[in-house]
Amino acid sequence: MNSPEPLLTDHLSNHQLTNALPCRIGSRSLIRNEKDEILLGQSRLLPESDQLLTWDLPGGWAQPGEEPRAACRRTIREAFGVSVDPIDLLLLHWQPPQDGAAEEHTYVWNAPRLPSRTAFQLADDEVVQARFVPRNQLTAYVPDSVVERIDAARESLGRGRPDYLASRAAS
């Protein structure tokens, strides 16, 4: 009788398995209009709060076991009230754990263009505003790490192949 194959985790201690930091999977889309402006959504970091607003590309977090492209499609439909089918992967962005938060792996997808006058049906509990923003005004809306993500995705789009971006830990 053959012994069972060892599990890949057999070499790890119980402490290593139960104390591993979680990983969050994000999935966002680079959605542009006819003027090449980039769609951003302003959302609440804490849904029950009127404070702590942040801007980012449309999308959100994948649920456990959810495929990233499907997560992107779902979160945009839920938050913006429009159906967007992500086309191609542009970027995988890794961010290390910091300030007690888990490390993040964010997929950024190319999406079909939307007209400037698209009527979004925003989810009041999530997204409070949506707007197309020219590239030269991004820094007025998003932190440097998101500008870096958007620029890397746009460069990938121009090259016609996906790319990888690793952010450094905050010092």
User: Which tops the pLDDT comparison, 170 or 168?
Assistant: 168
Alpha helical stretches, state H, 49-170? 68-80, 144-159
Question: Has residue 56 got a pLDDT over 90?
Answer: yes
| Number of structural domains the chain divides into | 1
Q: What is the pLDDT of residues 102-157, one digit of tens each?
A: 899 999 999 999 999 999 999 877 888 999 999 999 999 999 989 999 999 999 99
Question: What's the burial of 76, exposed, middle or buried (CB within 10 Å: 0-12/13-18/19+)?
Answer: buried
* Residue 6 placed within a domain: no
First-residue to last-residue Cα distance in the chain: 55
Q: Which domain holds residue 140?
A: 29-166
* Amino acid present at 36: D
Query: What distance in Å separates the CA atoms of residue 151 and residue 155, rounded to the nearest whole number?
Result: 6
* Residue 145 placed within a domain: yes
Strands of the chain, DSSP E: 23-30, 38-44, 53-56, 59-61, 89-95, 103-110, 127-133, 163-166
Residue 8 has a pLDDT of 45
Residue 57 has a pLDDT of 97
Q: What is the pLDDT of residues 5-15, one digit of tens each?
A: 544 444 445 54
Q: What is the pLDDT of residues 73-101, one digit of tens each?
A: 999 999 999 999 999 999 999 999 887 77
* Residue 109 placed within a domain: yes
User: Which tops the pLDDT comparison, 145 or 2?
Assistant: 145
* Residue 16 placed within a domain: no
* Residue 2 placed within a domain: no
Residue 100 has a pLDDT of 78
* Residue 77 placed within a domain: yes
Which CATH number fits the domain that encloses residue 101? 3.90.79.10
